[in-house]
Structure 1
Amino acid sequence: MSELKFIETTDETIYTDILEELENGVGEPLYPGDERRIFGDTMAKVIVTVYNTVNDACRQKMLRYARGTVLDALGENRDVIRLDPTYATTTLRFTVTEAVGSNIIIPAGLRVTGDFVHYFLTDTTAVLYAGSLYVDVAATAEEGGTDYNNIDEGEISEIVDVSDVPLLDGVTNLTITEGGGDREEDEPYRERIREAENKLSTAGPAKAYKYWALSANSLVTDAVVESEKETITRTLKTYAGHAFQGGANLLPDTLVVFLSDGSEATAGADYTAEYADELLTLSLSGSLAGAEAVKIQIGRNMYGRVKIVPICAGGQIPSEEVLADVLAACSADDVRPLTDMVTVEAPETHEYDIELTYYTTKANESEVVQNVEGSGGAIDQYINWQGSTLNQDINPDELRKRILCPDWADDLIGATRVQIIKPEYTELNSTTVAKFSGKKTVKHIVRG
């Protein structure tokens, strides 16, 4: 896509124009060193800066280029508000080493921490009753964002507002902190604005459901919307070498016909199938000729039953809270068509291993190893790419590309050759996400 320019901002063009105007004005050539030409050089730099600023301001009127508060304003015009950050949560346990004879009141908003950087506040007032050694209470991060996620059990151990509860001896988090999401960044927000027009439909298109799913929670970065399917298994009686199964929305491509011993029959040799006017007709032959009954299995679309499968940033599987948010957003009366039944499910996962050998030269060995195996290197990038999106097959060629060419923009040096044993190319259905198993066998060989 070409860059859009409202005014000319090329340095050479502007400089040439200014120099020509000055020379025309004084009626003689201006050579290097002439103070009038030096003045023109300085003026050209100022004008280039002004033109670039004006051009940027004009371009930000377009959704493609808008950012920050300007993008917020464009979103407001389409009734699409940037998603606020979400707050991580956990469960805290407050304890005393010996039971006391009176109740201890733990006020709502009591602050605790594990590093004096990330603070959590109790959600409600709790009471540690006389004779008890502990009480559990839910707590929420002081600020939103992913920085408050993944604090391990037991790491939150300091009561900040100790003067409010002097009788308590300790605190600890019983669960890993989770649920924190950053404020929506410009690119995903821009995509939601682009898809905003889809929400106007009341017919239940997939794009409209996807828009509302992405708007339900800032952690959701992708979603697949599809009609639910069911698998029908029937044993059909035969009539003059034919068997029949009626029903709308059958999927002939999924048909499986079984022989009497339970093995699969061969299409063309043992039967032919035709589906027309909502009737599946089997003409039996070969091993099925003369059969009194035949067992079949076939899929069927269940139109009106909508399944939504969301995924979170970085390929994280959505929690029950996130799934509930998506269901609530997509089932609202002003979103869901009256005849639709909406369900929301977490994606299935398919694990893969990494096993490979790559080659490099002695001169580039240390740099290539860092670019391939280092933190944020080619392998880490591939794992993130492979697992962050639904409806994406496991593709070892993407891993190969990143190892050989880590980053064109930064001119990073990649391997000279790579042999990938695992993963193998694997087709995944639209609601399955690839997840790295953690099993990684990587070695490099130096040649030359």
Structure 2
Amino acid sequence: MSLSTQQPATAAQEPATLLRFATAGSVDDGKSTLVGRLLHDSKSVLADQLEAVERASAARGQHGPDLALLTDGLRAEREQGITIDVAYRYFATPRRRFVLADTPGHVEYTRNMVTGASTAELTVILVDARNGVVEQTRRHAAIAALLRVPHVVLAVNKMDLVGYAEHVFAAIAEEFTAYATELGIAEVTAIPVSALAGDNVVEPSATMGWYGGPTVLEHLERVPAGHEAGDRHARLPVQYVIRPQTPEHPDYRGYAGQIAAGSFRVGEPVTVLPSGRTSRIAGIDLLGRPVEVARSTQSVTVLLEDDLDVSRGDLIVPSGDAPPTTQDIEATVCHVADRPLTVGRRVLLKHGTRTVKAVVRNIPSRLALDDLSLRPVPGELVANDIGRVAVRTAEPLPVDAYADSRRTGSFLLIDPDDGTTLAAGMAGEWFLTAGEQHASAAVGTVSR
């Protein structure tokens, strides 16, 4: 049953797809300049924003606008010439909408990069053409692999400072692609750019005729995103139960939430977790209109044929494709709080729309970001550490492996006293060690 009497929406009425992407790069590789150039040349900067950048640039003695200031908004960032916090920017072209997360390059801000890239479908990793692939480049590639970012763009910047030499670009692209392959990154697109001059950012370069590939913006517009990318597992965390109880709809009971992955169709058999009760989808409402199919990232209301006890925090999944329900979770976490995470600490674990009590049972190892090796730790993680943890929850949770579903395979650990986020977790994720193939680097799974 639907609250609306309108006809189902058609595919032609669907809005332009949304791509979430993040940028990463070493200090002084020109990352903020690249982002500023992308926004400026795609006509995504308001006039007053550009005027403010021009005034700030003139005050610093620069002859033209410093486009890096479009993203480096904190006073400390402008004074030091570095990116500290994650800066989010929203812009659109006729072909697609974008959410951009400009992340810091310093190793001490690793937690900020993890935050920015955690929801990204693509990561742009910058390399200075003069320096090539450096330690921080490898670190950013490892984090992108750890977070299962589907697409990686290698932007070889400052090509104007190496005479736009093709062999310089080719050597860097070959080295990075080989390293990314070892990490398990399946797709790398290398693009030679000059962010300062604007070459191959939005407009094709007039000085690099040897390059026949897309510009950065062209690639961002074409890469599969959202439901275009395809999801193996359909998941709907229930956020709210709708019971209007109006004379027109006295028996309406809808389960509202944002589809985390995959798609749902009217008539499809589904299972509600953690109870395990089954039913079929009687109807789907999207923006007040009935639809036959709904896909990932869409916020919908699902109606079931049977009257089940469903509440906030439950998970609706296709019958026959349910994740395991467990109270013991082994995961990789990035610790983001200043206070250490220790064995025995009582926390809250937020998974989807459900928050439960939990305790940290073990912290066996930590990832050394200098050589990407696993090292035993004395039972604690400090800020910016990435490590393995074992957590016991007070209630069973339907947890996917992060490799299967980034949304329902991830969780947060929260301080129960003040609500501070302690760590971001990836259930069942593996670590990589230097020199090892990714397939042999597994160090844990979701406990069954």
TM range (shorter): under 0.3
Q: Which has the higher contact order (CA 8 A, sep 6+)?
A: 2
- Greater fraction helix: 1
TM-score using structure 2 length: 0.23
Larger Rg: 1
TM-score using structure 1 length: 0.23
